[in-house]
Amino acid sequence: MSLIIAYYVHGRGRGHSSRALTVIKKLILRKYKLKLFAGRDAYPVLAERFEVRQVASIFPKSSLFDFIKRIIHDYNQLRSIKPDILISDGDAPSMWVAKWLGIPIFSIGHALIFPYCKHPISLSQWGLLKESLKVRVASQWADFRFILHFCPLNTKDSKSVLVKPDFEFDTSQFNRGNYLISYFRDGNGSPVLKSLVANGMTIRNFGQPVNINGIQNFPPDDMLFKQMLSGAMGIVSSSGSNIIFESMALQKPILLLYKATDFEQMANAKYVDHLGAGLSSTFDSITPELIQEFILSLENPPTRKNTFNVMPSLSDEIISHLKINFD
């Protein structure tokens, strides 16, 4: 009898849906029966390729009432589906319900590094504590955790493994174009984009559209994004882990921006600095000098060894754990 998997994908940003695409394809090839649920930004990406139900996303500003509504919704769905296992990529309510119903849980995420990994760089202890507590709210229920990060880190327990996303583009052959790719999760990149355009840069923007002459806007499309990313001179983006993985895999110069209050994206930028893999700044403190440094880096992209090549891929590890524990 085919294993039934309930797969929930968080809806903030493109990273969750991008990595889910490849995992889902491999699970289908293994003949598992999937029930897919996706939040705001993930739904249109996944719905183009699979049968998926939309769920309300829970964001940092969501209310307790929003969380309770999701709990009730997920309880009814999971009672009806009766899955053998639940996989959650950043989705908290589904993990709470799965725990109550006695359903085994696989948790996927980047922020899992904070409570479950050892950190070789200096991070604010107060920020690390807050982020760790927030992540543990749901991930503590997981039977196993798949932690995504671009820097090799040691995990703290045997229930966690460090993995890399699956890459679906050819990282050895691509035609270099004369444009940048931009992606800002929260649509707050206009000031730096205006500065780059003023310096003669052509930009292809994904995510929330911007009304700036010299910038082409494109809708959410994972395949198109990766095709254009392969040919781009470089990337300007908010400091999300998935796009950092992609920039490193393709040896692309990257300029990362983050809010000083966003601990997760700040930590991403610090790790990029630690590896010498790109440039970064807060939105409020970016300078013309840093923009010029980034533009100069486009002429001579650095060649570096990818530190994450030693890590197993997310999909291989998930399938391995399913075979060992459920097949």
Return the CATH number of the domain spanning residue range 180-308.
Answer: 3.40.50.2000
Q: Are 246 and 240 in contact (CB under 8 A)?
A: no
Q: Are 287 and 312 in contact (CB under 8 A)?
A: no
**What are the tens digits of pLDDT across the range 42-63?**
898 898 899 999 999 888 778 8
Query: Which pLDDT value is given to residue 181?
Result: 96
Report the distance separating Cα 217 and Cα 29, nearest Å: 34
CB atoms within 10 A of CB 237: 27
Q: Which residue has the tokens 């403190």?
A: 285
Confidence of residue 108 (pLDDT cuts 50, 70, 90): very high
Cβ-based burial of 26 (10 A; exposed 0-12, middle 13-18, buried ≥19): middle
Query: Which pLDDT value is given to residue 16?
Result: 82
User: Helices 64-81 and 92-101: crossing angle, nearest 10°?
Assistant: 50
pTM of the model: 0.90
Report the distance separating Cα 258 and Cα 188, nearest Å: 10
Q: Shortest CA distance to 38 belongs to which of 20, 23, 64? A: 20
Query: Which pLDDT value is given to residue 1?
Result: 57
Q: Shortest CA distance to 229 belongs to which of 171, 185, 190, 279? A: 171
- H-run or E-run covering 108: strand 105-109
Residue 20 pLDDT exceeds 60: yes
Radius of gyration of the chain (CA): 20
Report the distance separating Cα 79 and Cα 82, nearest Å: 6
Report the distance separating Cα 317 and Cα 314, nearest Å: 5
**What are the tens digits of pLDDT across the range 212-266?**
998 999 987 878 888 899 899 999 999 998 899 889 888 899 999 999 999 999 9
Q: Which residue has the tokens 């769905």?
A: 77
Query: Which pLDDT value is given to residue 299?
Result: 87
**What are the tens digits of pLDDT across the range 142-194?**
999 999 999 999 999 999 999 998 876 654 555 678 999 999 988 899 999 99
Q: Which residue has the tokens 């904070």?
A: 114
Report the distance separating Cα 76 and Cα 78, nearest Å: 6
**What are the tens digits of pLDDT across the range 271-292?**
999 999 999 999 999 999 999 9
Helices (H), the chain: 15-29, 42-47, 64-81, 92-101, 113-116, 125-139, 190-198, 222-231, 241-249, 263-275, 288-299, 314-325
- H-run or E-run covering 205: strand 203-207
Report the distance separating Cα 254 and Cα 247, nearest Å: 7
Query: Which pLDDT value is given to residue 307?
Result: 66
Report the distance separating Cα 231 and Cα 179, nearest Å: 8
Q: Which CATH number fits domain 4-164+311-325: 3.40.50.2000, 3.30.360.30, 3.30.300.180, 3.20.20.140?
A: 3.40.50.2000
Tokens of 80: 């009806």
Query: Which pLDDT value is given to residue 254?
Result: 96
What phi and psi values does residue 34 have, to the nearest 5 degrees? -105, 140
Q: Shortest CA distance to 13 belongs to which of 220, 254, 263? A: 220
- Over residues 111-129, mean pLDDT: 96
Name the least confident of 53-62, 114-123, 204-213, 315-324: 53-62
Query: Which pLDDT value is given to residue 11?
Result: 74
Report the distance separating Cα 277 and Cα 247, nearest Å: 9
Same fold, 4-164+311-325 and 180-308: yes
Return the biggest CA–CA distance within the chain.
61
Confidence of residue 137 (pLDDT cuts 50, 70, 90): confident
Between 37 and 174, the more confident residue is 37
- H-run or E-run covering 236: strand 234-238
Residue type, 313: S
Q: Where are the domains of the chain?
A: 4-164+311-325, 180-308
**What are the tens digits of pLDDT across the range 77-90?**
999 999 999 999 99
